[in-house]
Amino acid sequence: MPPVTSALRECHRLRTHLRNLQAEIDAGPRVLAENKEELDTQRAEHQAHYDTITRLKLKQREDEGTLKQTDERLAKLRDQLEALVAPKERAAKELEITHAEEKKANLEDTILATITELEEKHAAVPAVEAKWKAARDEFKQFETDAAERLQRMTEDTAASRTDLTAAEAHLPRDVKALYDQIVKAKGPEAFAGAKNRVCQGCRSTMTETQFMDLRDGTFRTCVNCGRMQYPVE
């Protein structure tokens, strides 16, 4: 392929590659933030498990205290009942005792449910710790991989810019002036391959003569989209 069109083809490849590299580099902080957010979610879930255990222990302790007070009140009510003779007074006291017994039964059920849930939470601790460790390890590996990837892309960017400078050096001075103008306006979209007389940028068709000139190395731009063209073999 003649030098000018060959250089344009290489410039197109390199400028597209550089754009893609930069897009990936720019996306790095966002992707890192997303992974950090996921780690924070896992951290919150890990902490929530232990917070629940603490809350359940406190609830059990409070309910057991209330149960003790209820037992003491029941004993006092029963003693008071023994001293009563009048039917109405005994009926009222028996109702108090019934309410206290219901409260005691509810407290005992609640305490049993709390103990059961606590046992389940304690049994789940190994799995919770394993999940949290896996999340931390995964994030650490992501950070390592991201740093290595960034280094590779930074090195690739520098090398590709050097190659681009070398490719642009093959452009004649008059072509280079127009090249700079079009690239400034369109960036990597300043180029388009032409295959079977069809511009691959806008799908417009050129004449056979125009395509032959292009294949012979004549510098040309698409009459429809203005892109600098090169033949695609």
My answer on whether 150 and 69 are in the same domain is: yes
Distances (CA, A) of 116 to 57, 158, 183, 232: 11, 63, 71, 73
Please report the pLDDT score of residue 152 as a whole number: 98
Q: Residues 15-51: pLDDT tens digits?
A: 999 999 999 999 999 999 999 999 999 999 999 999 9
Question: Would you state the pLDDT for residue 233?
Answer: 74
Mean pLDDT of the chain: 96
| Token pair belonging to 110 | 């609640």
Confidence at residue 3, expressed as pLDDT on a 0 to 100 scale: 80
Q: Do 90 and 53 have their domain in common?
A: yes
The range of the structural domain enclosing residue 137 comes to 3-170
Q: Sign of the CA dihedral 148, 152, 153, 154?
A: positive
Of 140, 170, 200, which residue is a domain's last? 170
Cα(185)–Cα(12) distance, rounded to whole angstroms? 14
Q: How does residue 2 score in pLDDT terms, banded at 50, 70 and 90?
A: low
Q: pTM for this structure?
A: 0.78
Q: How much is the pLDDT for 4?
A: 94
Other CB atoms within 10 Å distance of the CB of residue 108: 14
Number of domains in the chain: 2
Of 132, 148, 170, the last residue of a domain is: 170
Name the domain boundary from 128, 143, 170: 170
Return the closest-CA partner of residue 148 out of 46, 229, 28. Answer: 28
